[in-house]
Each structure stands twice: as structure tokens, then as C-alpha cells.
Amino acid sequence: MKLWQKENTVTSDKIECFTVGRDREMDLYLAEFDVLGNLAHATMLETIGLLTADDLAALRVELKAIHEQIQSGEFVIEEGVEDVHSQVELMLTRKLGDVGKKIHSGRSRNDQVLVDMKLYVRDQLTEVVQATQKLFDVLVRRSDQHKDDLLPGYTHLQIAMPSSFGLWFGAYAEALIDDVVQLNAAYRLANRNPLGSGAGYGSSFPLNRTLTTQLLGFEGMHHNVVYAQMSRGRTEQAALTAIASLAATVSRMAMDVCLYNSQNFGFIILPDDLTTGSSIMPHKKNPDVAELLRAKTNRLKALPMEVTLVLSNLPSGYHRDMQLLKEILMPAFEETLNCLDIAAFMLEHMQVKPDLLKDEKYDLLFSVERVNELVMQGVPFRDAYRQVGKEIGEGTYQAPRALQHTHEGSIGNLQNEEIRARMEQELSRFEFGKVDTALKNLLNA
């Protein structure tokens, strides 16, 4: 029987299949967090007299046993059981009888799934931040390594001014800092406790929501119980918006790699194990990793709009529409982590070609250097600009390849230490240590 099912009522298999959808599959992602939420809720119920000390002790033993099953990969949602919440309660009731039935006091599946989702999103964002930091470290290290290897800079896909691999790697490193800022905003929205909001209207039991907030390591609670339910969807959307920002950075970088690897550009070399061949052209070394990275991250960029459309025109309160958010969110975290990992691997093993700008086809890249050279000699900028244009037109222009870029963030002054310091500052805003300590304490109580 379902948790919500009344006596002598039966739901047809067709309707059950449609309404449950992929929920049982998606709920396996939430199993660990459902146990944590149950532990916190049971601990709180004992403090307000709805469970005895013996009840709590028994529940803790069984919940920890379920947690061990989840960690070992043995936990399943049985056939005919609707979701992870039903499965956990069923397992508790089988072992403990009426004590297992008591744990749902003061709680609805609405706030139960909400707290599971908050804990899950917080956990997954932690992994994404750590993977982003790994990619950042690769980028900054390679920027330092290739600070003196020049690279053509482009505007409108036409050669523009001298750049460097130091600048190129470093640019994407700094872009990741802004992505981490957005990840932090999403993390903080996930890091608020909805437990105790019930179906969205609270409870007549004297629930101690401050206690469950502390036990689960949340930064704070959603105070208003109606808004706690309204946060369903907003949390997912914020997480996916941050992921979309990160995906946009990686997608653009992947596109650069595709271009730079092509023979027409020829700026980098991808190792053989990062490329594939052709069934008909024996010379081909296709950048399939970069191309798939571009496509996968482009798909991730679309996900916030999917959530927006699911949530469109919903009034306050809970609606079953929100069940579909799991199917959008959960695979996105796996895809994001996979993309970040392969991007770091690709960049770590990519080879950079030196001395690119010695080729005479890049002479015009240095036209601004020639203009600046004249300005330093006292020629007004507009006159210098016209003079160099005339030199180019008449074929008398000579490229001044000796660069003197010294200002902050330029070829000769990458400021990678400052970029590293800013990333460290943004990473320090996360409360990973506080969360880890709270959850360890909850499991070890």
C-alpha cells in the first residue's frame, strides 16, 4: 500500500505507471539523503516527546544499517514500492513495527522530498566545485608553463593582435572563478532547511526546526513554511543556472580546441589517444573529445529553460509537475562532472606549438605595435594609425616582433598569482567543513 493510499481504493496500473514515471529510478540518487533526513527528524521527535529514547535508539540502529546498504550498493526500491521515502519507512516498519510507523509524525512527503533534494543538490554542487577547482589548477599551471609561447589573437575570426597561450589558458581559468561565484549562490540556496514545513502549511506538533537545521549542517532554514515548499524548483533552477554558466565556459574552450587543432590553424597537437580516425581518409585525426565536450556542454546550457517551462504558471503550494525536475537535474550533475573531468584530462595532455608568430603570415598582427612605437616617438595616435595604414598599403610595413606588454593582465604580466588568490577567496565562501562535521556527527550519534 502507498503511504497516501486509503483503504479499499485501488489505482490502475496504467495511471500508476504514468504518475510514478522514472521516480523510483531517480530516487536512488536520494536514498543516502533520505536516511540523513530521517535521522535528523527522529532525533528532533524524541526531544519533543513524540518518540521515546528507546524508540530513537532503535531507529538509529536501523537507519544506519540502511545507510550501510546504500553505501555498499545493496539498497533497492522494491517492486510495487512507490519511492525512496516509502522504501525506507517500509524497511523500518518491517524491523521495528509501530516504532517505524511513528517516524512520519509532523512530516509530509512534500517536505521529505524537499530536504532530500536540498541535501542532494548541496552534495552534488560540492563535487562540481571540487572538479571545477581541478580544471582551474590545470589551466593556471599550463598558463604559467606557456606564458612565453605566443598565439594569434582574433576578432571576427581575423588576425587581430598578438596573444599567448599564457593568456589563453589563463582567460579560461579566470572565467571559472565567475562560474564558482554562481555555484556558491546555488549552494547557499540549497543550504537551507525546509524540514518541518509539512505539506507546506506547518504542523500542530511543536517541531524544533532549529534543531534539524543544525543536525543537517544547513546554513539556516526556510522560515516561512509556504515559501519552504515554493523553494522546490527554485533550488533546482539555481543549480542548473550555475551549471549552464560553467558549461558555457567549457563549451567555448572546447570550440577553441577544435579550431586550434585544425590544419588551417595548427596551434596545438592533440595526442593520438584523444583523437579518432576516419573510415575512408587515412590521414584524419579528429578531435572527437573536444567536439563531444562542446555538444554535451551546449545541451547543459538548455536545462534552466526546461525547469522554467515546467514551473511556468504554477500557483503556490505543491504540484506533481515538480516530480519531473528530478529527471532534468540528476543526470545533469553526472554529465557536468564527466565533462569537467575530460576537459582537465584533455588540457593536461594537449601539446602547444611554439614560435607560431615567426611565420610572415602573422606580420599584420604587429600593426598596433608599430602604431604604438610611433606614438612613443611623439607622433599623435591618429597620425600614427594613418601612417601605419599607408605603410601596409604601400608594402613598406615591417612587423616589430619585440613585445613590451607590462600592464596588469597582459602578455608580459599575466597576474596568475592574483587569479589564484581570487579563486581561493571564492572557494573559502563554501562551508564544506561545517557540513561534513554535522553529517558525521549525525551518523555517529
Average pLDDT over residues 103-115: 93
Residue pair 69/13 in contact (Cβ under 8 Å)? The answer is: no
Query: Distance between CA atoms of 392 and 124, rounded to whole angstroms?
Result: 56
Whether the predicted pLDDT of 16 surpasses 80:
no
| Same-domain pairing of 330 and 434 | yes
| Pairing assessment for the beta strands 351-352 and 158-164 based on DSSP bridges | unpaired
For residue 2, is it within any domain? Answer: no
Please give the radius of gyration of the chain, using alpha carbons only, rounded to the nearest integer: 28
For residue 407, is it within any domain? Answer: no
pLDDT band, very low/low/confident/very high, at 1 (cuts 50, 70, 90) = very low
Average pLDDT over residues 415-420: 97
Query: Distance between CA atoms of 310 and 324, rounded to whole angstroms?
Result: 8
Whether the predicted pLDDT of 279 surpasses 90:
no
Average pLDDT across the chain, whole number: 92
Residue pair 216/439 in contact (Cβ under 8 Å)? The answer is: yes
Query: Distance between CA atoms of 169 and 153, rounded to whole angstroms?
Result: 13
Q: What is the largest CA-CA distance in the chain?
A: 95
User: What tens digit of pLDDT does each residue of 39-80 get?
Assistant: 999 999 999 999 999 999 999 999 999 999 999 999 999 988
User: What tens digit of pLDDT does each residue of 161-215 get?
Assistant: 999 999 999 999 999 999 999 999 999 999 999 999 999 999 999 999 999 999 9
List of residues 6+ apart from 287 with CB closer than 8 A: 257, 258, 261, 270, 274, 275
Whether the predicted pLDDT of 4 surpasses 50:
no
User: What tens digit of pLDDT does each residue of 280-330 get?
Assistant: 776 778 888 999 999 999 999 999 999 999 899 888 888 888 888 999 999
| Same-domain pairing of 243 and 367 | no
For residue 207, is it within any domain? Answer: no
Predicted pLDDT of residue 11:
56
String of DSSP letters for 55-104? HHHHHHHHHHHHHHHHHHT-----TT--SHHHHHHHHHHHHHTHHHHHTT
| Same-domain pairing of 38 and 182 | no
Predicted pLDDT of residue 416:
96
Whether the predicted pLDDT of 278 surpasses 80:
no
| Same-domain pairing of 241 and 171 | yes
Predicted pLDDT of residue 157:
92
pLDDT band, very low/low/confident/very high, at 17 (cuts 50, 70, 90) = low
Q: Which of 40, 70, 102 is the last residue of a domain?
A: 102
| Same-domain pairing of 269 and 353 | yes
The residue behind cell 595616435 is 381
Q: Name the DSSP class of 384.
A: H
Whether the predicted pLDDT of 269 surpasses 70:
yes
CATH of the domain at 267: 1.20.200.10
| Same-domain pairing of 288 and 234 | yes
In the beta sheet, which residues pair with residue 161?
A: none
Amino acid at 184: N
User: What tens digit of pLDDT does each residue of 222-235 get?
Assistant: 999 999 999 999 99
pLDDT band, very low/low/confident/very high, at 9 (cuts 50, 70, 90) = low
Amino acid at 321: D
| Same-domain pairing of 86 and 152 | no
Q: Which of 46, 74, 102 is the last residue of a domain?
A: 102
| Same-domain pairing of 229 and 375 | no
| Same-domain pairing of 197 and 297 | yes
Q: Where are the alpha helices (DSSP H) in 146-281?
A: 165-190, 209-215, 225-230, 234-261
CA nearest neighbour of 431 among 182, 125, 170: 125
Whether the predicted pLDDT of 18 surpasses 70:
no
Predicted pLDDT of residue 196:
95
Average pLDDT over residues 251-259: 97
Query: Distance between CA atoms of 191 and 124, rounded to whole angstroms?
Result: 12
User: What tens digit of pLDDT does each residue of 350-396 get?
Assistant: 999 999 999 999 999 999 999 999 999 999 999 999 999 999 999 99
Cα of 34 vs its chain's centroid, Å: 22
Domain boundaries, position 343 = 109-202+220-358+415-444
| Same-domain pairing of 75 and 182 | no
For residue 406, is it within any domain? Answer: no
| Same-domain pairing of 160 and 230 | yes
pLDDT band, very low/low/confident/very high, at 23 (cuts 50, 70, 90) = low
Q: What is the pTM of this model?
A: 0.92
Query: Distance between CA atoms of 134 and 340, rounded to whole angstroms?
Result: 8
| Same-domain pairing of 332 and 426 | yes
Number of domains in the chain: 3
Q: Which of 102, 132, 161 is the last residue of a domain?
A: 102
For residue 124, is it within any domain? Answer: yes
CA nearest neighbour of 122 among 440, 439, 402, 445: 439
String of DSSP letters for 388-409? HHHHHHHT-----------STT
